[in-house]
Amino acid sequence: MAILEEQIQAIPNEDKRKYLSAGSHASIFISSLVVSIGIPCAIGYVSEDNIVKENTAEAINFHLNVWFYGAIIAFLSFISFGLLGLILVPIWLVYHWGLSIWAVIHCLNNPDVSFRYPLIFRLV
């Protein structure tokens, strides 16, 4: 256990910030259920870095928005017997996956700037 702590402390702060921020945004790729919010919550709780905390809050907000938009699309698809789903689901998937990939790339390239998703409601 002490060896692991020494290895973690040996990682430069910029690399920690980069990987923790990218990990919070990439958690949506692991699962689109509760785990996707649990990982950024855990990272935000453990980290002391303000940039990482901002990125975890933004990731949580984005995951909640993805769930909300998905529920609306599911309801509209149900009402229209799936016709609106044929149009809206591909748009939702591009929005969901595209912005997540953009956020991870941004965090890996610019670790000193927190990422802000466009077109979301910020609840946290």
Tokens for 79, please give them.
């009402």
102, two tokens: 């953009």
Can you give the pLDDT at residue 11?
Answer: 60
Tens digit of each residue's pLDDT (9 = 90 or more) over 9-61: 556 677 889 999 999 999 988 876 777 888 999 999 988 889 999 999 999 99
What pLDDT sits at residue 104?
A: 95
How far is Cα 117 from Cα 123, in angstroms, rounded to an integer?
A: 13
Q: What CA–CA distance (Å, rounded) separates 110 from 70? A: 30
Distance in Å from the first CA to the final CA of the chain: 34
Q: Encoding tokens for residue 124?
A: 């946290």
Residue extents of the structural domains in the chain? 14-109
Q: Say how far apart CA 32 and CA 12 lie, in whole Å.
A: 31
Helices within the chain (DSSP H only): 2-10, 13-30, 35-46, 50-79, 83-109
Per residue in 52-102, pLDDT tens? 999 999 999 999 999 999 999 999 999 998 898 899 999 999 998 999 999
- The structure's pTM equals 0.83
* pLDDT confidence bin for 4, thresholds 50/70/90: very low
